[in-house]
Structure 1
């Protein structure tokens, strides 16, 4: 591909789907990748992780990441392994969380390959992980950290600024000045009413906007998020059951612990044992405490949250939980049942009607969590079909994403309309619903981005 001075934007992921965020900017002979995430969910999406990037990894000059979640960073180890040698720009909070998330992702990928080989459940002989924990550790050496609101040079006169997005620790919107044009990536926008994180910064004037649409076609439930969880716990405890809360280790776990601490303080459910079975979540909590300026939780509340639960780090401790029985509460990753220790708990306790599985947030299509949420009561876990008789409770009250109304309110506050708004990071129905609202309510030019399409920043259409 020739590289001239006409700036372009190409959508290599999170177009027509809510995962795999990758946006390639080309200008002045430079290739800049905004986000470098894993595709998750449906098999045809996951297979994209195994395909070659449309451009060689070695030809990418720099990466800028919005935040640490794997659908935005999880392909970085493969990119570095395949020849990328440039810097990975991020906030300090994002870099710190990636030291947990990326090696853990590599470990889980290796574990899945091992299980597949052991059970003969893979179509590949032998099964090979997408990347290893060692690949992930190597990729961490490429990170360069930046403060919020301090522009930095990406090369060839391209300037980037990281702007607070809320959502999770370190999460940023990215504003780029490139060849005389401006483009703004929302990343994942947080909620104005989030009990954990501060709201996202307002949108400033920009020519091209790339906005997420995870909840583009729905709104979060109103009322107190704690109430539904408290009622569920009471139901399950009365029947001597186990509450398994599938939580993202970063951000969601903190929100759930905060809710449980407040419920316990008000005597909303009996004093049953609570276990935080996620070494990553335990370590992430220390990072949240180090970055007090980014969130609303006081030191006193942090202390209450982490005194509430028994911290479970080792594999043996995790296995013992599967023998213990109820009543108890287990908080464990992953949030969409795509891997991790929660799968072992579901395999052990999911067949008992006394128990409950809590899906505490968005479930991407094709994941086990989405399958349960849609009413399916059989999950394939490590090559075995597990019948699920436990109560399934889904709540989006703990979501760290702005919903459709909140995104529209955030857009409406912008001082002027962008020349074009590209809608990404959403399932097709969510992206199209947001597109329609932007066009009809704001009278802005907007459309859903298409996978692998290239658009001109000088003439966005």
Structure 2
């Protein structure tokens, strides 16, 4: 039986953000990932353009993982009329909710500030999407298991496979009339501090491969030894170490490395602080998702006990006022916002 398949690249082509694949097959219109464009203004403005498809025509959204460049456009899609289901693994949907709520809050705050200070050319300035629209989006989430074929139609099925990279991340296999299309998503490393090695597809008639770093090799540096060296150097000068970090995965990996150094008596007894609300929320997902990573429940708890996990902005200022040496992990990873700027200023 011959099947016509239409596939469009609507992001992550010519740039590394805004990942969206529009697939039409078996009478269904499916969006694989639904990312927001990030980076320079020219790219960010693409988010405000009308999409080159009717959001109401989309039957289903499949998510490879939770990062904003793969999920950040979801509330806008819902705002424009999408009413279908959004499928992903349990940790992916949990972390997506955290990220979208954080983004929605920032969008609302920025719009409010622009209106109060009058620096926007739009009157009034509007949030790209609101927390209310994030709430609507989350109601369309449907958790799907790993390694289990799920029927979309009689001739079309989908499977989510473990991919490392990020808690809950998968590559997606779609099978139509015996032909298999594989969407790689972002692929994790075979040797990761926290996550298991990614699985590999056994077959593919069409492979769509993420290749942001396809033209380079990861450095072979001993990360833990380098971190110890930086901490030791900073403390020898009676200084404090402030580490800008992405809240999702990177913050937890840094926590793990510092915890290991402390366990091995390679660090002096000084306060170690995690000051990123989103990072703290993701940490809770780590505890709820034990099969997805290498740490046991006991190890996760022990790691958290060695850190001061900040819960309020008032605590941030208390920590700043304490002039003794300390190690602080804070967002954002690109030093473009977040609490790291408060510490640095």
Please state which band the TM-score falls in when normalised by the shorter chain.
Answer: over 0.9
Structure 2 counterpart of 1:112, from 110, 113, 116: 110
- List gaps (5 residues or longer) in structure 1: 349-461
SS in 1 for 2:161: strand
Distance 2:212 2:171 in 1: 15
Distance 1:333 1:342 in 2: 5
* 1:300-319 map, 5 Å: 300-319=298-317
Change in Cα spacing, 1:119 to 1:230, as seen in structure 2 (3 Å) is: farther
Distance 1:119 1:324 in 2: 34
* 1:267-286 map, 5 Å: 267-286=265-284
Aligned partner of 2:227 in structure 1 is: 229
Aligned partner of 1:294 in structure 2 is: 292
- Give the CA deviation at 1:155: 3.8
SS in 1 for 2:132: helix
What TM-score do the two structures reach when normalised by structure 2? Answer: 0.93
Q: Deviations over 1:420-440 (max 9, x none)?
A: xxxxxxxxxxxxxxxxxxxxx
Greater mean deviation of Cα atoms: 310-319 or 10-19: 310-319
- Give the CA deviation at 1:228: 1.3
Aligned partner of 1:422 in structure 2 is: none
Q: How many residues align?
A: 344
- Give the CA deviation at 1:177: 1.4
Structure 1 counterpart of 2:343, from 334, 345, 353: 345
Aligned partner of 2:42 in structure 1 is: 44
Say whether residues 1:205 and 2:199 are aligned partners. Answer: no
Structure 1 counterpart of 2:165, from 167, 185, 190: 167
Q: Deviations over 1:139-181 (max 9, x none)?
A: 0000111110111123473211001101121111000113553
Compute the RMSD of aligned alpha carbons.
2.0
Q: Indicate if the aligned counterparts of 1:173 and 1:187 stay in contact, CA closer than 8 A.
A: yes
Distance 2:265 2:212 in 1: 35
Change in Cα spacing, 1:123 to 1:269, as seen in structure 2 (3 Å) is: farther
Distance 2:31 2:255 in 1: 35
* 1:342-381 map, 5 Å: 342-346=340-344, 348=345
Aligned partner of 1:219 in structure 2 is: 217
Q: Indicate if the aligned counterparts of 1:103 and 1:134 stay in contact, CA closer than 8 A.
A: no
Say whether residues 1:238 and 2:206 are aligned partners. Answer: no
Task: Report 1 or 2 for greater relative contact order, CA contacts < 8 Å, sequence distance ≥ 6.
Answer: 1
Aligned partner of 1:22 in structure 2 is: 20
- List gaps (5 residues or longer) in structure 2: none
Change in Cα spacing, 1:51 to 1:245, as seen in structure 2 (3 Å) is: same
What TM-score do the two structures reach when normalised by structure 1? Answer: 0.71
Aligned partner of 1:149 in structure 2 is: 147
Distance 2:127 2:343 in 1: 23
- Give the CA deviation at 1:338: 4.3
Distance 2:22 2:337 in 1: 29
Q: Deviations over 1:27-71 (max 9, x none)?
A: 233210000011111111111111111112111111000011111
Q: Indicate if the aligned counterparts of 1:62 and 1:154 stay in contact, CA closer than 8 A.
A: no
Q: Deviations over 1:347-394 (max 9, x none)?
A: x2xxxxxxxxxxxxxxxxxxxxxxxxxxxxxxxxxxxxxxxxxxxxxx
SS in 2 for 1:25: strand
Distance 2:32 2:154 in 1: 16
Say whether residues 1:69 and 2:73 are aligned partners. Answer: no
Change in Cα spacing, 1:269 to 1:119, as seen in structure 2 (3 Å) is: farther
Aligned partner of 1:79 in structure 2 is: 77
Distance 1:303 1:322 in 2: 26
Distance 1:271 1:121 in 2: 47
Runs of 4+ in structure 1 deviating by more than 6 angstroms, as ranges, are none
Distance 1:295 1:23 in 2: 28
